[in-house]
Amino acid sequence: MKSLFPEISGQDINNISILALAQVGDAVYELMTRTMLCLSQPTAKKLHKARVALVNAAAQSRAASVLMPLFSPEEAAVFRRGRNAEPGNIPSASTREEYMAATGLEAVWGYLYLSGQTERLSELFEVLHEKSS
């Protein structure tokens, strides 16, 4: 069985569709958010409410705005590819711009995770946590 925590080379990552990177990134972003919230939310109901407030297109779009100036050139390129991808359906709870920025952020999260850059993920996530505290 292959590792669930792969370190995929740059060339191999470029062969993964940007929307697939965003799918992985969405899961990683949500897991990181749930983990952070578990430390401060004593009940499942409060955890769920707090998570819903942080893991949605509008919140992720705001997060992308905070992080964009900090992105490396590679991260910025992945973000742009994700933001410019055609996702299909856009949820009615968000604007197209919010959804596209959220997709870009998720693509960066997927890129960093799959390339084994977990310290960078933690660094960026910490910036967001500090900004929201």
Residue 133 pLDDT grade (very low, low, confident, very high; cuts 50, 70, 90):
very low
Q: What's the mean pLDDT in 106-113?
A: 96
What is the token pair recorded at 38? 């578990």
Residue 2 pLDDT grade (very low, low, confident, very high; cuts 50, 70, 90):
low
Q: One of 21, 24, 25, 26 is an active-site residue; which one?
A: 26
What is the token pair recorded at 84? 């410019």
Residue in 107, 101, 108, 115 with CA at minimum distance from that of residue 19: 107
Contact 102, 65 (CB under 8 A): no
Q: Can 26 be counted among the known catalytic residues?
A: yes
CA–CA separation, 86 vs 117, rounded Å?
26
Q: What's the mean pLDDT in 13-39?
A: 90
CA–CA separation, 7 vs 33, rounded Å?
22
Instruction: Of 11-15, 19-23, 87-91, 100-104, give the lowest mean pLDDT range.
Output: 87-91
- Its pTM stands at 0.86
